[in-house]
Structure 1
């Protein structure tokens, strides 16, 4: 139902209510009877989109004392005990359940039938791609050689907002129909000696990972020895 601006002003004056509502695309701002904006702001510790199964910390700041109502879709949410909105932000752990969108509606509970919405937040959710492999903290595919300190790591780029480094259980390298294997993050001595003797060769590196929130148990990459 649409109400013209003049009609809406007459209704507000008649009721004697000093309330102003300003609508944006996904946010409503409320001003209470004292002329103070009641607002909420929400932040999630991610630099970009969210990922299925990854746990994030959510901070919710409000400037009022009434109870808060959160309507969360496509995510599990857990309140972090000890956080209070009269002493600082409310803290939650939030875990997306499926790809698509996570939506969070923040409301201010005035009474059972009066819950004005203070904010509507929407986050894109993706599934993980296979985490990249790094050698000496570089995922460049071209290598000039290896040594006993050359270290295998596996993690997502920082800009993805997934701050988790996988524990490498074991690795397998295949080059020139030869296969080398080892445990942990470091290459075996026989593989280092061999790879430093060849030039212009490609080797396939597969690694086995410890269990993690992303569900990946292995990763692989191709490297070129120059």
Structure 2
């Protein structure tokens, strides 16, 4: 029986590449983002590659929308085996610490970090019942390192990383894999930072499940971010 991956924050770049990689390896794909028209276009593109995919519109800022989308996926496909979480959330540009306000800090935290918690709340009970599943979280390198120009993002992403690490400790002995991949690249199609290579890294982490966390590329630091 085919497994199902739900990609929260699916777009034409990384989300599509992850969908394609997992789809090529026998997964059905559920795509979540705000725009149903764009989701339908992505699903049609995957269908042309013989990958079963369906889009479910939801905004991670709104708990009811996200919950409804995940419930609709369960109704359509049954059990959600894997969740990959990588939305572009927030209404403010990356901001250094001295310019952080209540608004630009809370905005990305509410959309990105709380969106991840809401997603887990929706899928984890079923995973615990079955004793299997995977929760995959994608962030930027600012989740690990203090990067001055992206301090507002760092607050939210480092919090999500902390959450993921604690989930891993809680769930590792319950048959549920938790993974975190921090990206130290600017994604550019057709280059060494093409999203397809990130998708390969994610599938490798998921398949082996021998480590909880990795950076892409391996060993990247703020000084060596690939642009």
Task: Name whichever structure is richer in strand by fraction.
Answer: 1
Task: Name whichever structure is richer in helix by fraction.
Answer: 2
Instruction: Give the TM-score taking structure 2 as reference length.
Output: 0.20
User: Is the radius of gyration larger for structure 1 or structure 2?
Assistant: 1
Instruction: Give the TM-score taking structure 1 as reference length.
Output: 0.20
